[in-house]
Structure 1
C-alpha cells in the first residue's frame, strides 16, 4: 500500500533511477504474448476449437466448416497471425546485441529460455469469418526486434511505436478495402487463406522482422457458447468496441507509456515518494528484525490501544484481528505520511484482505470526522465553482476543499481475479458479519449495479450475494467503466414502467436514491457520528489506562512499586545521622574555641596590667622587647580564635538548617511513600473493578510471549465491546456520508449545493473519448471517491483510466497480489 507524496531528486538519484527505468522500458518491449496459455485457458461454458493454418494446410471454406455442437452458437472467431516460437526472440536479441562472453551466454541460456508460441497480432472475426478491424491487437515484440536490428535499442519508445501503429492501421485499412473491392457486398466475405498469407506478409514487412522457422501462418480459434446466452442476436460481442477509426491495442505490453511518463518526471527532478521508496533499498539501520527482541518490543509498542484505528469493518464480534494484522494496520497509519510505501506479505488465507477492509473503514471514518465539523454539508466545497470541459460539453462543478481529499482508495493488481475479489466482493453481504446485515450504504444503488445484466434485465440475488452497500466498484478498462456508468446512473430504458420494475426489486439509480432519501439530516448524522466517536474514545482511554495499570502491577510487588520512595527515605535517614554527628562536632569545636578565646583575653589583660617602665620602653631594653612580643602574639591569637569561632558558628548554623531541611524531606518522603502505597492499592482496586470489563486482556510478561498462539491469533488487546463500538463508528461514518450526499446531491432548485453536476461530470468522464485538463479530471475523480470510496483496476488499465492525473493525485494505492506481477507494472501507478 502507498500514500502519495512528492520529493525532489538529486542528480545522482536521477541517474540511478533512470538506469532502472530504462532497463524496465526496454524489457517491456520484448515480453512476448503467451499464445499457448490463451489457446488453453477459457471460460467453462465456452467451447473452443483450433485450426493451425500453414502453407500445407490452408484455411477451408467457411461454408464447409462443421456446425457448432448442439445447443451452442458461434460467439466469434479469433485469428492469431504470424505464429512463431519464442526462441526466435532470443536468437534475434543475440544477433542485435552480440553474443557476449561465454559466461554471459551460459547465464542467458538459463535465464532466457523461452518456450512455446507467440504471434504478431490477434484479430477477431465475426460469425461469418469476416475481420472485425476495430478489435485488432498487435504485439510490440516483432516491431521491437526489427527496430533493434536496424537502429539499436535506443530507437524504442512509446511515441515511435504509436507512429508505427498509425502506419499499420493505414496498411490494414487499405488491405481490407482492397479485399472488399473484389467481393459481393450483399453476401458475407470470410477471409481466405491467401488473404491471411498476405496479411502476415504485411505484418512482417511492417515490423521489419521475419521469423526464420515460420511454419504456422496463423491459428484460427472458434469460440462457441450455449445458445441461451445469446439473448440478443443483434447485440455486438463483448469484445467489440466500434469506433470511426481503427484503433490498435497492444497485445503483450501495458506499461511502456507508464514507464516513459515516469522517466519524464524523473528527468524533471521530481518523483512520488512512494515510487522513490519502491526504487530504493533501505539501509540496515532503517530495518528492524521483528523476530529480534528489539523487533518484538516494537510490535508491542505499535499495538497500544491509543494507536488503534478507530474505524472497524463489519466483522462478527468474535472475529478478531491477529497480532500481525493489527500491527500492519497500526504501523501503516502511524508511519503515514513519512513512510509512503508499506508492504504486507503472507500466503493465501492469512487475512491480507481482512486487513485492507479495516484500512478502508478507517479512511472513511477519518473523512467523516472532517465532515462532522461542518455546520452545513455545502461547506465541504470551495467557494468558487470550477468550469470544466468533458469532450465538447462544459459545466460548472463544485470543488472539494483540500481537507476532504487524500482519502481516495484504489486497489490495483496485475491479476484480474484479485482485483475483482476485492471490489466485487466488498459490496456483498458475504463480506460483512451476519449481525451487521441490516447495515446499508447506498444499498439500492449497489443492488442495481450488482443485479442488472448487460442486456438490461435483472438477475435475482439471494443470500450472501445480495449487496449491503456501494462501498467499491470495479473500473479499469473501457468496458468496465461503461458498465458501471450505465448501471449506476441510468435505467436500461427511460420509461416509468422500467423505473417501477427496478424499484420494486429494490434497485435504484443514484439520482432516484438521492430523491428518495429519508435518513437523518446532515446535522443529525454529524451529531450521531460525534457520539459514536466519543464512545470509542472513552472505551479506548479506559482500555489504555487498564493496560497501563496491568503493566505497572503484573511484574511488581508493592515493595517494587515503592522502591524509589523507600530508598529515598533510607538515604535521608543516613544523611540526617551524618549531619547530626557533624553538628555535634561543631558544637564541641565552638565551646573549645570560646574557652580558648576567653583565656587569651584574660592573658592579654594581665600582661597589660604590668607593662615595663618609662625608661625601659624609652631605651628599648630586653624587658620592653619581650613585653611587646608577648602582647603581639596574644593579640594575633585572639584575632585568629575570633575568626575560627565565627566560622564554626556559621557552620553550626548551616548544619542546624540542613538538619531541619532533612527532617522536612523525611516527612515529605514518608508522605510520598504513603501516597504511593495508597496509589498501589487504588491501582489494584481499579484492576479488580475493570477486570470483568476487560477480562481477556493480559499483557505479555516476556517479549517472547507474543510468539505464542494465544497472542498471535487473538492479538494483544482483544475486546469485543470496543470492536463493536468501532464498527458502530464506521456505520455512523457511512451514514454521515449518505446524509452529506443526499444534502448536496439534490437539484439546486431543491436546495442542493450543486453536487448533482459533479455526478453528471463523473458519468461523462467514465465514457469520455478526449483528454480532460488535469485539474478538471482531478476534481471529478475526487467527487466519485466521495460517493464510492474504493475503486479497483488492473495495472494494464490504470494509466488510461487516470491518464490526466499527476503525481500524488490519489490518496491511497493498494497493490494486491504484488508478487504475481513484473516490477515495472506498478511504476506508473506509484
Structure 2
C-alpha cells in the first residue's frame, strides 16, 4: 500500500461520517391516516408525475456530533463555538406515483454504520460493502421481491404501513444510541417525467470514487491525480511571479497568446497576471496533462479568465474541425447499444482527433458559482452586443435555457437529475403546445432533406475560409509581436553594450585629451631645451675661438691655460650632451603621445561603428514597436519593451499587455467563427449527431448502460454540440458514471478554496487537464466533523497534517504543486505559503474596503485599478458604528442594540432613496438568522454568514459583529485568520458599515487594522 493510498483511505473513512441533509420541505407523515400515495392523486402539469420520498428519522446534526464526541471522549464544545446546525435522517427511499418503491432507491445513512464500527473497534474499510448489503437486504426484509417471477424484479405493490413500521423497528435496532422516537417524513413533489429517481439526500457523494481509487494501483491513476497527490512538491522549480518580474515577462510572450477570446467589450483586455495565467495554462497544459492553480483574490477577474480559457478550448477544437473538413467529423462504422425494452440504439464514433481533449466541465462546491457560469455563458449581457451584434450559436435553442436574452447554447447545467431532465426538456424535446421546436427536431428536419445538408456543407466551407483567414491574420500578428517580445534580452544586452561603449568612448576621449595635454607640455619643454641648446651651441662656438694656440703642446704639457680652457669646454660640452639627450627623450615621448592619440582615435572609431550597428538594431526594434502601435493599435504602454523590467510590480499588474481594440476584435471573431464551424459541422452530420445525442440523454438519465468506449463517444458528441457542462462536485459521481480516467478534456474548478481536499479526487481522475481557481484566504471548507475523529483517522493511516480534512482545501493542494505562483504570509506565524498563479489587479471595491483587505490578507500585493472610484453622494462614508453600552444578549451572540441600530441605519438609507441590494453579514449564524427574520419584508436585504455571500457583491454591506462581551473566545475564533473579515470587506463595492463593540473587537487581530481605518 502506497502513501497515496493511505491518504485516499483516510479521506474515504472521513466521508463515512458525512451527515446527509434533511429536506426542509418534507412534512411529518401521520401513520394514523391513510398514506398519501394510497389516495386519489390530483392531476400533475403536462410531462410531470408525482413522486414521494420517505425520510426515516429527523436527527439534529448537533446531537450526532455530540454523541461522537462522547464516544471519542473529545473535549466538549466551548459555549462560544458555533454548534453544527441542521438535521439528518437515518434512511430514505423513493416511491412512484402509485406508491411502489423505485428501483435501487433505498439508502441507509453511512454514519450509522460508522458509529457502530467505532463502538466495536472495527475497521471502516468495509462500510461501502455493508451499505450495499443493507440495500440488497431491504427488499427481502420487507418482502418486496415479486415472488411470481424467477427474476429479482421488485413488486409493484404500494409500500404499506406495516413495512414502514418494520423499517422503524430495524433502524431502532441498528442505532440503539438514539434517544428519541423515529418519526417518518414525506416529500411529495411533481417531477419531470424522465427524471431519474435519486434520493435528495445521499451518503457522501465521494465515497464510491474514493473506494474505487483505493482499490486500483497508483499506476492506474491519471497523471493529474498523481500530481495532485504529490508527496513532495518540487520547490526548486517554482517561479515567483511577484518577486521576479522576469518570470512574469516570459509568461506574457505573445507566442503563447490564445487565438480565441471571449467576445466581451473590446475596450477591455486582460490585465498582466490574467493574460499571463491564460497563456501559461495553454503553454503547459495544451498538449499535456496536469494541474495549474490560479490564486484569485476577490474582484481580480477569475471568471473573466475562465471565459477566455473556454473560448480558446473551443477554438482549438475548431482548428481540428477545419483540418478534417465537415465530411470527416465521424469515423467509419457504427456501434449498437442493445435495449431490453425498445429498439436498439445505433451510435456513430466521432473522429478520434475530436475525443477526450475538448470537453469542458466547470465544477464547484458552491452552487452559486456553478449557476453563475451556466447563466453567464449564454447570456447576451456577457458579450459586446454592439460590436458582435450577429453573435449566434444555435441561439433559437438557447432561449429556454436561461431566463434572460441568450445568444448561444454554450453551457448545460447537468449536476442533478432534475437539471438533466429540465435541460433535455428545454433543449432537446419539442413542445407543440408552446410552439417549441427542439434541437432533436431540428437535426431530424435537416437530414430528411438532402438539399439542406448540401446547403450547410457550403456554409461550412465559407465559414472555414473565413476562419482560416482570421487565424492567418492572428498568426501574422503573433509572429510580429512575439518577435518583438523575444528581442528584449538582446535589447537589454545591446543597451548595456552601448552604455559600455559610450563609457569607453568617454574614457578614450579623456585619454586623448590627456595625451594632447601631455604633448603640449612636452613640446613646451622641448622648446625650452632647444633654446638652451642653442645658447650652449653659441657658447661652444665662442669657446672654440678662445682655445689656446698650439693646443697640442698645451695639452701635452698640461699648461695652466689648457687646464682652464679644457675645464670650461668639458663643463659646457657635458651640458650640451645632457640637453641633447633630453631633447631626444622628449621627441620620443611626443612621438609616443602622437601614436597613442592615433590608436585611441582608431579605437574610438571602432566603438563608434559598433554603436552605429547597435543603433541600427534599436531602429529595427523601435520600428517593430511602431508597427505594433500603428498597425494593430496597441498602446505603447501595453507593449512589453525594454522598460518593462524597470517598472514596479504594481505598475506591471495594471498593464493590458499586447491588447488593443483591433486585436480583441480579431480574437473574438476567431472564437465566434469557430462556433459557426461547429454549428455547420453539426448540421452537415445531423443524423449521426441526432442518434448519438438521443443515446446520450438516455445515458445521463441512467436508462441505458454501455461500455467505456461508447460512453466516451456519447459524451464527446455532447461536448461537440454544447461546449461546457457545469456541475456541483456533489453530483459528479452520478453525472459521470464511468470511472474511466482522462475522459474530460478540461476541468475548470471554481471557488476551490471552499472545497474539501477529497471532494475532487474522482473528478481529477476523470480529467486530463485541471485549472483550479480560488483563494485560500476567503471562505474555507465547512468542517462539521469532530476534531478528535479527524485526528484519530489521520493518525491511523499515518497521514501528514498537510492532507487533513480540517486543515486544507483543494486550492491549497493545487497551489502547492503549481510551478507558477508566489509566497504569502501565513496569518499569526512567521511562515510563508506558496500559492498558485497570482491575480492581483482588483476591480470591485473602493477604499477603505480594498485597502483594509489588501493589508490584512494579501501583504499589500493587490493593486487597485486606477480608474476605480464610486461617487454616491446619498451614502454616508464607510464607518464603524460603536455599540458599547449595556448589552442585552439573545441566542448567545445577538446584541439587541446592534440589531436596533442596523434597522435604523437601513431605514435612513432607504429614506434617502437608496433602493439597491444590501447585504447584512455576521460571523455568527445566530445573528444572521435573527437579522433575516427582522428584514423579511425587504427582498433586497440579504442576511447571512460569509458562506452565503462568496462570489457575490453589493454596493452596501453591513457587518454586524455581536458576541457576548464576556466571551473573548468567540472573538478570538472569528479573528484567528483574516478569511472571515476579508470576505465581508470584499463583498462591498461602495460602502462598508461595521456595527459592534469597537473597544472589544478593535483589539482582535485584523479587526484592529479595520478599527484604525474606520472612524
Q: TM-score, normalised by structure 1?
A: 0.67
Where do residues 643-658 of structure 1 align in structure 2 (5 Å cutoff)?
Answer: none
Measure, in 2, the Cα distance between the counterparts of 1:507 and 1:76. 28
Corresponding residue SS for 1:385 = coil
Matched, 1:307 2:251: no
The answer (yes or no) to whether the contact 1:138–1:249 under 8 Å persists in 2 is no
TM-superposed deviation, 1:276: 2.0
Q: Could you give the per-residue CA deviations for residues 588-624 of structure 1, whole angstroms, max 9, x where no partner exists?
A: xxxxxxxxxxxxxxxxxxxxxxxxxxxxxxxxxxxxx
Q: For the structure 1 residues 379 and 573, does the alpha-carbon distance in structure 2 shift closer, same or farther, using more than 3 Å as the test?
A: farther
Change (3 A) 1:731 1:190: closer
Distance 1:89 1:220, change over 3 A: closer
Rounded to whole Å, the distance in 1 between the matches of 2:354 and 2:440 is 33
Q: In the alignment, is residue 81 of structure 1 matched against residue 56 of structure 2?
A: yes
| Aligned with residue 562 of structure 1, among 498, 504, 513 | 498
Indicate the residue corresponding to 1:623 in structure 2: none
2:405 to 439, 460, 466: 466
Query: Is this contact kept in 1: 2:92–2:107, CA < 8 A?
Result: yes
1:200 aligns with 2:168: yes
- 8 Å CA contact 1:140, 1:250 repeated in 2: no
Q: Pick from 180, 187, 209: which aligns with 1:214? A: 180
Change (3 A) 1:390 1:417: farther
Question: For structure 1, which runs of at least 5 residues remain unmatched after alignment?
Answer: 1-13, 40-47, 64-71, 178-187, 225-235, 452-460, 576-660, 748-753
Alignment of 1:180-195 (within 5 A): none
Q: Which residue of 1 aligns with 2:657?
A: 716
CA offset digits 1:446-473 (Å, max 9, x no partner)? 23x528xxxxxxxxx6xxx122111221
Could you tell me how far apart the structure 2 residues matched to 1:189 and 1:779 are? 40
Match of 2:366 in 1: 415
> How far apart are the structure 2 equivalents of 1:758 and 1:821?
34
What is the CA–CA distance in structure 2 between the aligned matches of 1:152 and 1:782, rounded to whole Å?
Answer: 44
**C-alpha deviation, 1:396, in angstroms:** 5.1
Distance 1:788 1:684, change over 3 A: closer
Tell me the CA shift for residue 662 of structure 1. 13
2:699 to 765, 780, 789: 765
Structure 1 residues 811 and 684, CA, compared in 2 at 3 Å: closer, same or farther? closer
Cα distance change, pair 691–816 in 1 and its aligned pair in 2 (3 A):
closer
Describe the shift of the 1:715–1:169 C-alpha distance in structure 2 as closer, same or farther (beyond 3 A): farther
Distance 1:418 1:411 in 2: 9
Q: Which of 211, 220, 226 pairs up with 1:260?
A: 211
| Mapped pair 1:33 → 2:20 | yes
Residue 277 of structure 2 is matched in structure 1 by: 328
**1:124/1:136 contact within 8 Å kept:** yes
2:349 counterpart residue number: 398
1:18 corresponds in structure 2 to 5
For 1:502-541, list aligned pairs within 5 A: 502=436, 509-512=442-445, 520-541=458-479
Q: Which structure 2 residues correspond to residues 70-109 of structure 1 after superposition, within 5 A?
A: 79-86=54-61, 89-90=64-65, 93=68, 99=73, 105=75
CA offsets per residue over residues 252-310 of structure 1, 9 Å max, x none?
32111111111123x35321122222223524324344332x2x332222122222111
Between the aligned partners of 1:807 and 1:154, the Cα distance in structure 2 is: 26
- From 132, 148, 152, the equivalent of 2:122 is 152
Please name the residue that 2:246 is paired with.
297
Picking from 728, 733, 739, the partner of 1:799 is 733
| C-alpha displacement of 1:488 | 3.6
Indicate yes or no: 2:392 matched with 1:450.
Answer: no
Q: Is the 8 A contact 1:125 1:131 kept in 2?
A: yes
Identify which of 335, 341, 363 aligns with 2:291: 341
Q: Is the 8 A contact 1:488 1:510 kept in 2?
A: no
- More displaced stretch, 336-345 vs 159-168: 336-345
If asked which structure has higher relative contact order (CA below 8 Å, sep 6+), I would say 1
- Total equivalences in the alignment: 658
Gapped runs of 5+ residues in structure 2? Answer: 37-44, 148-156, 512-598, 765-1015
CA contact (8 A) 1:81 1:122 kept: yes
Task: Tell me if 1:828 matches 2:796.
Answer: no
Aligned partners of 1:688, 1:25: CA distance in 2, in Å? Answer: 60
Q: 2:91 aligns with which of 121, 143, 151?
A: 121
Pairing 1:166–2:109 present? no
Q: CA-to-partner distance for each residue in 1:552-571, whole Å, 9 max, x for gaps? A: 88x99x98663466689999
Aligned to 2:744, the other structure's residue is in SS state coil
Counterpart position of 1:697: 637
CA contact (8 A) 1:697 1:718 kept: no
CA drift of 1:62 comes to: 8.1
Instruction: Note the C-alpha offset of 1:725.
Output: 0.7
Q: Could you give the per-residue CA deviations for residues 384-416 of structure 1, whole angstroms, max 9, x where no partner exists?
A: 424242545253513312365411111122333
Report how far residue 532 of structure 1 moved.
0.4
| Root mean square deviation of aligned Cα | 5.0
Superposed, 1:260-299 pairs within 5 Å as 260-265=211-216, 267=217, 269-280=219-230, 282-292=233-243, 294=244, 296-299=245-248
The question of 1:815 aligning with 2:766 is answered no
Deviations 1:717-769 (CA, angstroms, capped at 9, x unpaired)? 331211111001111211111222222x145xxxxxx5554344334433443
Q: Deviations over 1:466-503 (max 9, x none)?
A: 2211122122333333433344443235xxxx69x335
In 2, Cα distance between equivalents of 1:783 and 1:60 = 51
Question: Quick one: distance in 1 between partners of 2:54 and 2:760?
Answer: 31
Report the Cα distance in structure 2 between the residues aligned to 1:258 and 1:111, rounded to whole angstroms. Answer: 33
1:731 to 668, 672, 683: 672
Give the C-alpha shift of residue 238 in structure 1. Answer: 4.8
Partner of residue 326 from structure 2, selected from 377, 380, 385? 377
Report the CA distance shift for 1:690/1:772 in structure 2 as closer, same or farther (over 3 A).
Answer: closer
Q: What SS is found at the alignment partner of 1:433? A: coil
Match of 1:139 among 100, 109, 112: 109
Local SS of the residue matching 1:373: helix
TM-score (norm 2): 0.56
Change in Cα spacing, 1:221 to 1:350, as seen in structure 2 (3 Å) is farther
In 1, are the aligned partners of 2:413 and 2:419 still within 8 Å (CA)?
yes
The alpha-carbon deviation at position 313 of structure 1 amounts to 0.5
- For 1:432 and 1:391, the matched residues in 2 are separated by 44
Q: Distance in 1 between matches of 2:677 and 2:500?
A: 52
Shift of 1:805: 4.8
Please say if residues 275 and 657 of structure 2, whose CA atoms lie closer than 8 Å, have aligned partners that are also in contact: no
Gap change, CA 1:544 and 1:136, over 3 Å in 2: same
Q: Distance in 1 between matches of 2:35 and 2:464?
A: 67
| CA–CA separation in structure 1 for the residues paired with 2:146 and 2:120 | 29
Which stretch of the first structure deviates more once superposed, 139-148 or 437-446? Answer: 139-148
How far apart are residue 28 of structure 1 and its match? 0.9
Contact 1:546 1:690 in 2 (8 A): no
With over 3 angstroms needed to count, the CA separation of the structure-2 counterparts of 1:150 and 1:391, relative to structure 1, is farther
Residues 483 and 717 (structure 1), Cα distance of their counterparts in 2 relative to 1, 3 Å cut:
same
Q: Tell me if structure 1 keeps the 8 A contact 2:256–2:283.
A: yes
For residues 671 and 509 of structure 1, the distance between their equivalents in structure 2, rounded to whole angstroms, comes to 72
Query: Per-residue CA shift, 1:637-673, capped at 9, x if unaligned?
Result: xxxxxxxxxxxxxxxxxxxxxxxx9999998766544
Query: Would the alpha carbon gap of residues 397 and 824 (structure 1) be closer, same or farther in structure 2, given more than 3 Å must change?
Result: same
Match of 1:792, SS? strand
Q: Is the 8 A contact 1:445 1:513 kept in 2?
A: no
Distance 1:446 1:405 in 2: 25
Give the Cα separation in 1 of the matches to 2:226 and 2:218. 14
Name the stretch that deviates more: 402-411 or 662-671. 662-671
* CA distance 1:565–1:241, shift in 2 (3 Å): closer
